[in-house]
């Protein structure tokens, strides 16, 4: 009997014509047309977007009687199908229910049906305050998300969702852009060229995404939310959807331009005392800055009181050379300082005066065009920063092209490519090392006038004081400039570090994807997609001869790395009612992932010829190394979602990975999950001003990890032999 009924339904379907619906969507407050509103057919994945004038056109299949209107930041609207349907949407700052979000594998779902926590943030909200890191913009916008920002220009941001879950520090969520996982790695605590005490921070990789190109970001919290992504998403996932040309004008082109500028200054500096100057036990006399004079190698301020004296900074001595404190200061001797003789005075602003007022500019121009079946968007962005650190300049240039086409009622395609170029010059280090200016300022003499250091980068070799300094140091080379500093035992001049020492960092990156979808009918479709994230880093630091630390004899650090991740996947999606009140949605697919890392590094710890920064100019064997990592993971996964009367939803997922880093016969890992969401207010038909919405959810999952390449067998390193 059932087959017969099914055949009858199939025979009658062609006789029922679809309904052609047109209309316009406006903002209820401003009465202005709204572009980019998704108009969907309830119960199907079919839909369209409004154009720049807020207008849309849609063919609704027979048997479907409701349309949905959704846009992040507005209350969703449901209307009955009619030949003309105009809608006014109401702004809503907090989105707590019935909002469509993009979940794992790019699947769009109603937030209320999710058995896990997910929260979306619109692109408009992210760009409210200009930032060099889109990850930083999430701070304060997503509950339970902790963002730790670096103070370095264009520095990294670390994300932790709902607390740390691993003692190894791998607690950050997976980042996905338009369905393609991307690299969000950052230098470890030692950074580039550092060690256990720190290094150079050149930012986390996800910072390359321009916030002006983001349509929305959805944070999937916890392993259940991202179970379909496997172990990499054990800490959740951040799903970024970039802007497309949908909603652009049909006639001509739509142009959007954004320009912003911000200034920055140090938020907080140490509180210094300004009663006593450099030295120990109330005494200081500069001879060579390396303990050739009385306490002149000290980098602390326990010296004479800062009272503008020009003589009497030391006590008279007895026959054994011990100070006679009771006799008072010897006013017959002038107060010798690093610049000669001068008043022993406090300079309360000598640290704050070192920093410039940083200026950051952000510019983005986007051009869009769309029709009923095609859309395209081209975006050019540039962010520049003249940093607070002297001679620090950073730029990021972004070029993005995306488009989509509906070739027929069955075939559709989309693609995008994003090229990003970063250039960072003379970034300060974040370390307990002289390359970090604040390390020196912690030990700074309170009588040091940084204006003198700014105006004098090098010592005059003919100056008798310079000859004293050379004689007292023993390590300073006279075939290279002698730095002008206030101390020669521990610290160089901060202006020497900001000018004579140079660092250059460049990153070229390309992120692209292409996807093709075939719709068999209104309930079954299949999508094939491939994407690649590729970038190349090059970091160079040049340390001049007579640099106090590191590399007193001069040196260099050169690091080059190439990272790539390629993902190819397919996804079959089907939605069908099983019974009158029960609908099932099934997603099944597979993924093939390949990760490659190639790197090379060279270190020179002493130069033969000052100012020639090459490996061949090394005084002794340079330290060199080459590294290569390769990893493959193949996966199959599936999701079955059962929805009963729109108030009970049960999800069952499973994913199996086969990793190349595990033993051949033991390389399979299975990740199951089960979750349920129960809308209490809908099920019990609660109508109350006190309780408008109540939901109970529960979930269970199991995740595991493979390992990094080459951990199961001994391999030979390529570093210089010892």
For residue 609, being part of any structural domain is answered with yes
What element of type H or E holds 3? helix 2-12
596 forms beta bridges with 564, 630
Answer yes or no: are the C-beta atoms of 58 and 25 closer than 8 Å: no
Number of Cβ atoms within 10 Å of the Cβ of 143: 11
Separation between Cα atoms, residue 217 and residue 122, nearest integer Å = 7
Percent of the chain having pLDDT more than 90?
50
Number of neighbours of residue 339 by Cβ within 10 angstroms? 15
Kindly state whether residue 570 falls inside one of the protein's structural domains. Answer: yes
* pLDDT score at 576: 86
Q: Quick one: 22 and 59 in the same domain?
A: yes
Full DSSP string of 268-321? --PPPP-SB-SBBTTB---SSSSSSSTTTT--SB-SSB-S-BSB--S--B-TTS
How far is it, in rounded angstroms, from Cα 226 to Cα 104? 6
Alpha carbon distance 170, 172 (integer Å): 6
d(CA 289, CA 511) in angstroms, rounded, equals 53
DSSP single-letter state for residue 235: T
Whole-model pTM?
0.81
In this predicted structure, the answer to whether residue 502 has a pLDDT above a threshold of 70 is: yes
- Say if 445 falls within a structural domain: no
User: Which of 246, 535, 243 lies closest to 400 in space, CA to CA?
Assistant: 243
Q: Do residue 210 and residue 66 come from a single domain?
A: no
CA gap 722, 391 in Å, rounded = 38
Bridge partner residues of 258 (DSSP): 364
Q: Using an 8 Å Cβ cutoff, are 115 and 697 in contact?
A: yes
Which of 125-129, 614-618, 658-662 shows the lowest per-residue confidence on average (mean pLDDT)? 125-129
Average model confidence (pLDDT) across the chain: 86
pLDDT of residue 283: 97
HSE-up of 416 (CA within 13 Å, CB side)? 21
Q: Could you give the 3-state DSSP secondary structure of residue 211?
A: helix
Burial class of residue 688 (count of CB atoms within 10 Å of its CB; 0-12, 13-18, 19+): exposed
The pLDDT score that the predictor gives to residue 44 is 67
Beta bridge partners of 385: 360, 394
| pLDDT tens profile 170-180 | 678 889 998 88
Burial string for 443-475 (b: 16+ CB within 10 Å, else e) reads ebbbbbbbebbbebbebeeeeebbbbbbebbee
Gap between the Cα atoms of 123 and 350, Å rounded:
42
Q: Is residue 218 domain-shared with residue 134, that is, in the same domain?
A: yes
67 lies in which domain range? 18-93
Domain boundary among 492, 516, 544: 492
Q: Which is nearest to 73 in space by CA: 97, 88, 91?
A: 91
Least confident of 135-139, 246-250, 330-334, 561-565: 246-250
Residues 144 and 222 in one domain: yes
Helices (H) and strands (E) in the chain, counts: 8, 34
If asked whether residues 288 and 158 sit together in one domain, one would say no
Tell which of 73, 93, 113 closes a domain.
Answer: 93
The structural domain count of the chain equals 3
Contact between 183 and 204 under an 8 Å Cβ cutoff? The reply is: no
Tell me how far apart the alpha carbons of residues 202 and 223 are, in angstroms, rounded to a whole number.
Answer: 29
- 639, 574 contact by CB (below 8 A): no
At 718, the pLDDT band (50, 70, 90 cuts) reads low
pLDDT, tens digit (0-9, with 9 covering 90-100), for 349-381: 999 999 999 999 999 999 999 888 899 999 999
Calpha distance 302→516 (Å, rounded): 72
Q: How far apart are CA 700 and CA 707, in angstroms?
A: 24
Instruction: Give the N- to C-terminal CA distance of the chain in Å, as an integer.
Output: 83
pLDDT at 4 (0 to 100): 34
Residue 203 has pLDDT above 90, yes or no: no
Q: Can you give the pLDDT at residue 197?
A: 43
CA-to-CA dists, residue 524 to 68, 517, 572, 573, angstroms: 20, 11, 8, 6
372 and 425 part of one domain: yes
User: How far is Cα 186 from Cα 169, in angstroms, rounded to an integer?
Assistant: 12
Residue 8 lies in a domain: no
Q: 56 by DSSP, 3-state: which?
A: strand
Name residue, tokens 């989105």: 95
pLDDT at 469: 95
- 163 lies in a domain? yes
In contact, 399 and 379? CB cutoff 8 Å:
yes
Predicted pLDDT at 553: 93
**Ramachandran angles phi, psi of 514, nearest 5°:** -140, 140
The string of pLDDT tens digits covering residues 575-624 is 888 888 888 999 999 999 999 999 999 999 999 999 999 999 999 999 99
Q: How far is CA 75 from CA 24, 49, 107, 303, in A?
A: 16, 16, 21, 68
Q: Cα separation of 77 and 67, whole Å?
A: 8
**Boundary of a domain, candidates 93, 109, 141:** 93
Q: What is the pLDDT of residue 6?
A: 29
Question: Nearest-CA neighbor of 200 among 155, 158, 157?
Answer: 155
Q: Is the per-residue pLDDT at 196 higher than 70?
A: no
Q: Which residue in 387, 388, 393, 385 sits closest to 354, CA to CA?
A: 388
pLDDT of residue 228: 77
Q: Kindly tell me if the per-residue pLDDT of 10 is higher than 80.
A: no
CA-closest candidate to residue 676, choices 638, 637, 645, 647: 647
Least confident of 151-155, 223-227, 402-406, 600-604: 223-227
Radius of gyration of the chain (CA): 33
Q: Alpha carbon of 2 to those of 8, 230, 445, 576: distances in Å?
A: 10, 40, 92, 16
Contact by Cβ (8 Å): 608, 575: no
Answer whether residue 386 shows pLDDT above 90.
yes
- Helix, strand, or coil here: 565? strand
Q: Do both 329 and 472 map to the same domain?
A: yes
Neighbours of 37 (CB within 10 A): 24
> From start to end of 389-543, where are the E strands?
393-406, 411-425, 430-431, 502-519, 524-543
Q: CB within 8 A of 653, min separation 6: which ones?
A: 227, 228, 637, 638, 639, 640, 671, 672, 673, 674
366 shares a domain with 339:
no
Query: If we measure between CA atoms, which residue out of 514, 516, 515, 509 comes closest to residue 533?
Result: 509
> What is the strand order of the sheet 38-41 is part of?
47-49, 38-41, 66-70, 77-80
Judge whether residue 317 has pLDDT over 90: yes
- The answer to whether residue 1 sits within a structural domain is no
pLDDT band (50, 70, 90) for residue 72: low
Same domain, 486 and 573: no
Pairing state between β 393-406 and 374-386: antiparallel
Amino acid 8: pLDDT: 30
Maximum mean pLDDT: which of 260-269, 417-426, 659-668: 417-426
The tokens describing 503, both together, are 């660092």
| Residues 445, 489: Cα–Cα separation, whole Å | 13
The enclosing domain of 88 has a CATH number of: 2.60.40.1120
Structure confidence at residue 146 (pLDDT): 81
Instruction: Say if 268 falls within a structural domain.
Output: no
Tell whether 363 is covered by a domain: yes
Domain match, 529 and 654 both: yes
On whether both 335 and 364 belong to a single domain, the answer is no
- pLDDT 10s digits, 261-302: 989 899 889 999 999 999 999 999 999 999 999 999 999 999
Of 8-12, 102-106, 267-271, 447-451, the poorest mean pLDDT is in 8-12
If asked whether residues 318 and 373 sit together in one domain, one would say: no
Whether the pLDDT of residue 225 is over 70: the answer is no
- Quick one: which of 503, 497, 499, 506 has its CA closest to 536? 506
Longest distance between any two alpha carbons in the chain, whole Å: 121
């Amino acid at each position: 009997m059932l087959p017969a009924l099914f055949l009858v339904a199939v025979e009658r379907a062609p006789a029922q014509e679809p309904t052609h619906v047109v209309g316009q969507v406006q903002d209820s407050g401003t009465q202005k047309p709204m572009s980019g509103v998704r108009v969907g057919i309830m119960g199907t994945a079919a839909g369209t977007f409004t154009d720049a004038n807020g207008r849309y056109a849609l063919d609704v299949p027979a048997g479907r009687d409701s349309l949905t209107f959704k846009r992040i930041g507005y209350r969703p609207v449901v209307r009955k199908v009619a030949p003309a349907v105009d809608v006014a949407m109401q702004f809503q700052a907090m989105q707590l229910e019935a909002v469509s979000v993009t979940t794992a594998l790019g699947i769009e779902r109603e937030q209320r049906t999710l058995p896990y926590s997910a929260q979306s943030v619109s692109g408009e909200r992210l760009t409210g305050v200009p930032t060099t890191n889109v990850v930083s913009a999430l701070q304060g916008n997503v509950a339970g998300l902790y963002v730790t920002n670096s103070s370095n220009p264009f520095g990294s941001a670390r994300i932790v969702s709902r607390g740390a879950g691993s003692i190894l520090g791998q607690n950050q969520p997976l980042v996905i852009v338009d369905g393609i996982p991307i690299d969000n790695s950052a230098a470890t605590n030692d950074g580039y060229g550092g060690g256990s005490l720190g290094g150079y921070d050149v930012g986390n990789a996800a910072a390359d995404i321009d916030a002006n190109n983001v349509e929305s970001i959805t944070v999937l919290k916890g392993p259940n939310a991202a179970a379909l992504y496997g172990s990499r998403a054990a800490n959740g996932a951040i799903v970024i959807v970039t802007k497309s040309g949908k909603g652009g004008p049909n006639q001509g082109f739509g142009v959007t331009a954004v320009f912003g500028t911000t200034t920055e200054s140090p938020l907080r500096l140490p509180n210094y005392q300004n009663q006593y100057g450099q030295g120990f036990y109330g005494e200081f006399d500069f001879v060579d800055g390396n303990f050739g004079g009385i306490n002149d190698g000290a980098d602390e301020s326990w010296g004479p009181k800062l009272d503008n004296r020009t003589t009497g900074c030391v006590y008279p001595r007895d026959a054994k050379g011990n100070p006679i404190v009771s006799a008072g200061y010897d006013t017959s001797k002038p107060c010798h300082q690093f610049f000669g003789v001068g008043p022993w005075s406090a300079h309360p602003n000598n640290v704050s005066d070192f920093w410039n007022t940083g200026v950051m500019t952000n510019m983005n121009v986007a051009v869009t065009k769309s029709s009923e079946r095609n859309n395209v968007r081209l975006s050019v962005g540039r962010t520049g920063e003249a940093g607070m650190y002297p001679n620090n300049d950073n730029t990021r240039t972004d070029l993005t092209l995306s488009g989509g086409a509906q070739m027929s009622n069955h075939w559709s395609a989309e693609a995008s490519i994003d090229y990003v170029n970063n250039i960072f010059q003379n970034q300060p280090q974040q370390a307990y090392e002289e390359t970090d200016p604040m390390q020196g300022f912690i030990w700074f003499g309170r009588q040091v006038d940084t204006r003198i250091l700014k105006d004098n980068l090098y010592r005059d070799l003919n100056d008798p004081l310079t000859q004293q300094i050379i004689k007292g140091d023993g390590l300073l080379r006279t075939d290279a400039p002698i730095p002008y500093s206030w101390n020669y035992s521990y610290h160089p001049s901060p202006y020497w570090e900001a000018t004579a020492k140079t660092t250059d960092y460049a990153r070229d990156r390309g992120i692209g994807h292409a996807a093709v979808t075939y719709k068999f009918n209104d309930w079954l479709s299949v999508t094939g997609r491939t994407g690649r994230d590729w970038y190349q880093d090059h970091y160079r630091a040049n340390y001049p001869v007579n640099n106090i630390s590191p590399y007193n004899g001069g040196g260099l650090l050169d690091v080059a790395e190439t990272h790539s991740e390629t993902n190819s996947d397919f996804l079959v999606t089907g939605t069908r009612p099983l019974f009158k009140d029960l609908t099932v949605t099934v997603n099944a697919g597979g993924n093939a992932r390949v990760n490659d890392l190639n790197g090379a590094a060279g270190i020179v710890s002493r130069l033969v010829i000052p100012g020639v920064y090459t490996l061949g100019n090394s005084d002794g064997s340079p330290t060199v190394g080459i590294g290569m990592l390769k990893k493959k993971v193949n996966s199959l996964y599936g999701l079955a979602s059962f929805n009963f009367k729109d108030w009970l939803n049960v999800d069952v997922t499973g994913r199996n990975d086969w990793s190349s880093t595990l033993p051949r016969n033991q390389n399979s890992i299975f990740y199951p999950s089960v979750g349920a969401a129960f809308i209490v207010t809908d099920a019990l038909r609660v109508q109350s001003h006190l309780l408008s919405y109540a939901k109970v959810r529960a979930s269970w999952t199991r995740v595991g990890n493979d390992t990094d390449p080459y951990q199961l067998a001994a391999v030979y390193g390529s570093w210089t032999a010892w």
